[in-house]
Amino acid sequence: MRKKIFEMVEPGEGLNKVSSFYDYFMMMVIIVSLIPLAFKNENTAFFVLDKICVVIFIVDYILRWITSDYKYNKKSVSSFIRYPFSLMAIIDLISILPSLTVINSVFKVLRVLRMIKAFRVFRVFKALRYSKSVEIIVNVLKRSKESLVAVGTLAVAYILIAALVIFNVEPDSFNSFFDAIYWATVSLTTVGYGDIYPVTTIGRIVTMGSSIFGIAIVALPAGIITAGYMNEINSEKEEADK
């Protein structure tokens, strides 16, 4: 019985209609549970909707917990102890706790209650385990990790060097080195908010060079991820053909 439950609740494990239906059902529940967050005012309908969704989340959490030995392929108590500390289990728990009346009643300050309500947004991460597209993207990021880390290191180095240059070239336009880092980051992404900008000729020359170089750096991750995504899609098609 527990084996069948595990094949139903764990995406990718069950190759039957029941498992597919459960995945789609949970996706719908997650989406529905986020609807009240789009409105400032709460009403009875939203309250009831939230409670129904959180009950479903609790049942889902319990089902995964009692079948965690199948997940880790270990028929021992350690599997049941290990599961609550896994990343997805923690996300599940965070998505459940803010909706429990017992938790909410402990905090009387309005700001804390609003903060707790904001934690419900974590429910969107529950959708990760039900999405094939997200799984593909995660695989792409894993396989392109070294290239992305190299580009990230280059971007950080660029920001620090550009900030040091502009901070010394035009110190009057920046109150602190952090302002220079903020300017360099904005220049890297070519956003250009206009709240901090150089006014001298040499400062503007540095800004032009920084913006041109920034375009190249920003384009690199997009190209790496796109190439990896296409390779992953082709691999999926080849496996499907086989």
Of the candidates 238, 174, 229, which has an alpha carbon nearest to the alpha carbon of residue 200? 174
The CB density around residue 64, as the number of other CB atoms within 10 Å, is 21
CATH number at residue 180: 1.10.287.70
* Amino acid 101: pLDDT: 58
**pTM of the entire structure?**
0.55
**Domain C-terminal end among 130, 163, 184:** 130
Residues in the chain, pLDDT under 70:
11-16, 101-132, 242
* Amino acid 110: pLDDT: 39
* Amino acid 107: pLDDT: 44
Rg (CA), the chain: 24
**Domain C-terminal end among 70, 100, 130:** 130
CATH number at residue 124: 1.20.120
Are 11 and 64 within one domain? yes
Question: Is 138 part of any domain?
Answer: no
Question: Is 136 part of any domain?
Answer: no
* Amino acid 204: pLDDT: 87
Are 214 and 188 within one domain? yes
Contacts of 236 (CB under 8 A, 6+ apart): 136
**Structural domain span for residue 26:** 2-130
Are 178 and 103 within one domain? no
For residues 242 and 234, give the distance between their C-alpha atoms in angstroms, rounded to a whole number.
12
Question: Is 95 part of any domain?
Answer: yes
31-39 long-range Cβ contacts below 8 angstroms, 24+ apart: 31/127, 33/57, 33/95, 33/120, 33/123, 34/120, 34/121, 34/123, 34/124, 37/117, 37/120, 37/121
Are 13 and 125 within one domain? yes
* Amino acid 152: pLDDT: 87
Question: Is 218 part of any domain?
Answer: yes
Are 119 and 55 within one domain? yes
Question: Is 7 part of any domain?
Answer: yes
Are 192 and 227 within one domain? yes
| Dihedral angle computed from the Cα positions of residues 128, 132, 135 and 140, in that order, rounded to the nearest 10 degrees | -140
Are 11 and 120 within one domain? yes
Are 126 and 149 within one domain? no
For residues 84 and 95, give the distance between their C-alpha atoms in angstroms, rounded to a whole number.
14
